[in-house]
Structure 1
């Protein structure tokens, strides 16, 4: 079991390692910033990574404050589900009522790799490979449907 400070250090090392890993990916070398993340240029829509004891997550999150607006934006994405999932043989997980740890509700479209644990350094390469590959695919899917949704 890690102390709070040790866990903070572990996560810091994990994300620094991910940055180093990404700097060696040819598709990312030409980019000004590695991934789109918060710069989707679509209000209330962000792309995120998460790494936990349960696995790795690559997420498109709709976090508009107004529940009606949030659900409406989610439904717009859902109309293009087939196009969005083209790059994902196992599909994506579509959750219109995901509750974050903080208790607030958002809509999420994501993919996950379970069976890996951020506390196991030996598995970090599996996290890195999954997260980089899947985020590139999710960004491509997002860009494909973005214009139609706006």
Structure 2
């Protein structure tokens, strides 16, 4: 077992390593970006990457407090599904109105890789290899569609 401080340090070390690995990679517009803390620039729409015990995930989270408005945003993504799948080259899971780990109702579009553990440094290359192409593809997708979300 790891202490709380040790768990926190290992997670922090992973995200620092991921950030250093991704630092030379420009975004779709050729600019530098803080990949581990990617900013969509649109309130209540986030690109989330997680590295946990047992899985890693990457995806889009819609967190608007008004569930009806959240559903409208989700539907807007649904209309762009073919563009998203063209960019990411795979089918992701689409979940409308699910609870996150703190009990907030969110909607998300994500891909999960099971069987990896951020607490095991030997798994870091597999986690990074999973996250890297997907966050880059999400950025490419976002570069194409973001203007459609700016008036929300």
Paired residue secondary structure (1:116): strand
**Structure 2 matches for 1:1-150, cutoff 5 A?**
1-25=1-25, 27=26, 31-35=31-35, 37=37, 39-150=39-150
Question: Number of matched residues?
Answer: 148
TM-score by length of 2: 0.86
CA shift, 1:108, in A, is 0.6
List runs of 5+ in structure 2 lacking aligned partners: none
CA shift, 1:149, in A, is 4.3
Q: Contact 1:118–1:124 (CA<8 Å) still a contact in 2?
A: yes
**What is the rounded CA distance, in whole Å, between the counterparts of 2:53 and 2:75 in structure 1?**
31
Structure 1 residues 37 and 98: alpha-carbon distance in aligned structure 2, compared to 1, 3 A threshold: farther
Structure 1 residues 53 and 6: alpha-carbon distance in aligned structure 2, compared to 1, 3 A threshold: same
Write out the 4+ residue segments of structure 1 that deviate beyond 6 Å after TM superposition: none
Structure 1 residues 18 and 37: alpha-carbon distance in aligned structure 2, compared to 1, 3 A threshold: closer
**What is the rounded CA distance, in whole Å, between the counterparts of 2:20 and 2:149 in structure 1?**
34
**What is the rounded CA distance, in whole Å, between the counterparts of 1:7 and 1:36 in structure 2?**
18
Q: Contact 1:38–1:45 (CA<8 Å) still a contact in 2?
A: no
Q: Please list the CA deviations of residues 46-97 of structure 1 after superposition, one character each: whole Å capped at 9, or x if unmatched.
A: 1111111122111211111111111110011101111111133431111112
Q: Contact 2:42–2:149 (CA<8 Å) still a contact in 1?
A: no
